[in-house]
């Protein structure tokens, strides 16, 4: 008999984990997505056109607030955590709530959730939201372009609207933002790249998306969301830490995971750090990942219309 599973997420990694791990598995039956963090996104259905033939009616998307009731109603055996940006105290609270309901707890790790690419993949990740990750990503794209490489920027998903329309999103120009009806949050992330002349890729099904990215580009740049690890297996991983928040790099999930995965760590906002902060972060990085190269950076703020 198939194990009955709920996937807890925020309209991003939860869909990806389903697509790559659960969608075609006869051993599991995903009975619901339980969503949190983003207000108003629950109450929909993951459409059958994406969920596949084992789910002809799709999958309900419900609120994590109703977790205990859902466990009883759907006879859940297992809860899978598939979202990021949690301090360890928050992670512990979620874990305790799940286990207290009687069901098993699981996280689908990097080896079982990353997709292999035929192109080189560089990932830019953060130890926590707000570290200045996207500015680093844009600098990496510029440097790669100077070397004559076509770079495809793949963004962490934010499909808060019609999921069927957002399965695969390809943005070559600003006009494409209107075509897909993206949110303000998505515009904030995509517009800088488009104004620089680069293409951005996002969506719901990152397996289908990858074939397009590979066809149109020489290198894939994964611009991560929150402090999540990438959906594509990277050849080189840059992790951005925050000089204004020493200690967060070893006290958040999955930010500390990223620290262990890093080939290079950039400590950003160094000009705003309190005395001793940079050395504290360096010690934390070295204690987890002594092979990672550490760089120090300043995050400048520029106003295009100061008047």
The residues near 169 (Cβ < 8 Å, ≥ 6 apart) are 176, 180, 182, 201, 202, 203, 209
- Average pLDDT on 25-41 reads 87
Q: What is the pLDDT of residue 158?
A: 85
52/56 Cα distance (integer angstroms)? 7
Q: What is the pLDDT of residue 307?
A: 62
Q: What is the pLDDT of residue 185?
A: 86
- Joined tokens for residue 6: 């709920």
Q: What is the pLDDT of residue 161?
A: 80
Cβ distance 203 to 195 under 8 Å?
no
200/195 Cα distance (integer angstroms)? 11
DSSP class of residue 43 equals S
Summarised one tens digit per residue, pLDDT across range 65-84 is: 999 999 999 999 999 999 99
Strand partners, 129: none
- Joined tokens for residue 72: 């009883």
**Three-class SS state of 281:** helix
Backbone angles phi, psi at 207, to 5 degrees: -70, -50
Q: What is the pLDDT of residue 159?
A: 83
Summarised one tens digit per residue, pLDDT across range 118-156 is: 999 999 999 999 999 999 999 999 999 999 999 999 999
168/55 Cα distance (integer angstroms)? 20
Strand partners, 232: 115
Q: What is the pLDDT of residue 88?
A: 98
Strand partners, 123: 222, 237
38-47, 98-107, 231-240: least confidently modelled range: 38-47
Domains assigned to the chain: 3-112 (3.40.50.720), 115-296 (3.40.50.300)
Cβ distance 120 to 220 under 8 Å?
yes
- Average pLDDT on 177-198 reads 93
Summarised one tens digit per residue, pLDDT across range 101-122 is: 999 999 999 999 999 999 999 9
The residues near 151 (Cβ < 8 Å, ≥ 6 apart) are 141, 144, 145, 198, 217, 218, 219, 220, 221
Q: What is the pLDDT of residue 110?
A: 97
How sure is the predictor about 300, in pLDDT bands with cuts at 50, 70 and 90? low
How sure is the predictor about 305, in pLDDT bands with cuts at 50, 70 and 90? low
Q: Provide the whole-model pTM.
A: 0.94
Summarised one tens digit per residue, pLDDT across range 256-278 is: 999 999 999 999 999 999 999 99
For the chain, what's the residue count?
307
Summarised one tens digit per residue, pLDDT across range 206-231 is: 999 999 999 999 999 999 989 999 99
58/203 Cα distance (integer angstroms)? 18
ω into residue 254 within 30 of 0, thus cis? yes
């Amino acid at each position: 008999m198939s194990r009955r599973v709920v996937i807890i997420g925020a309209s991003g990694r939860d869909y990806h984990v389903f697509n790559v791990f659960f969608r075609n598995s006869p051993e599991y039956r995903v009975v619901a997505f339980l969503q949190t963090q983003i207000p108003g996104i629950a109450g929909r259905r993951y459409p059958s056109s994406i969920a596949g033939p084992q789910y002809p009616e799709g999958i309900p998307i419900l609120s994590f607030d109703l977790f205990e009731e859902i466990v009883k109603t759907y006879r859940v055996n297992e809860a899978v955590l598939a979202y990021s940006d949690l301090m360890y105290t928050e992670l512990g609270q979620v874990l305790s709530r799940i286990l207290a309901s009687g069901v098993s707890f699981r996280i689908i790790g990097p080896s079982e959730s990353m997709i292999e690419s035929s192109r080189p993949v560089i990932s830019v990740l953060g130890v926590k939201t707000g570290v200045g990750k996207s500015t680093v990503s844009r600098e990496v794209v510029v440097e790669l372009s100077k070397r004559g490489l076509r770079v495809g920027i793949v963004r962490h998903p934010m499909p808060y609207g019609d999921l069927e329309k957002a399965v695969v999103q390809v943005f070559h120009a600003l006009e494409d933002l209107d075509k897909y009806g993206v949110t303000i949050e998505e515009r904030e992330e995509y517009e800088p790249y488009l104004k620089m002349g680069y293409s951005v890729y996002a969506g719901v099904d990152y397996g289908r998306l990858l074939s397009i990215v590979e066809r149109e580009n020489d290198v894939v740049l994964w611009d991560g969301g929150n402090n999540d690890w990438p959906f594509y297996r990277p050849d080189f991983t840059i992790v951005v830490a925050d000089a204004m928040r020493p200690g967060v790099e070893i006290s958040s999930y999955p930010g500390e995971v990223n620290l262990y995965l890093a080939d290079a760590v950039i400590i950003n906002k160094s000009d705003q750090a309190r005395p001793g902060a940079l050395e504290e972060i360096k010690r934390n990085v070295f204690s987890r990942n002594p092979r990672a190269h550490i760089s120090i950076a300043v995050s400048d703020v520029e106003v295009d219309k100061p008047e």
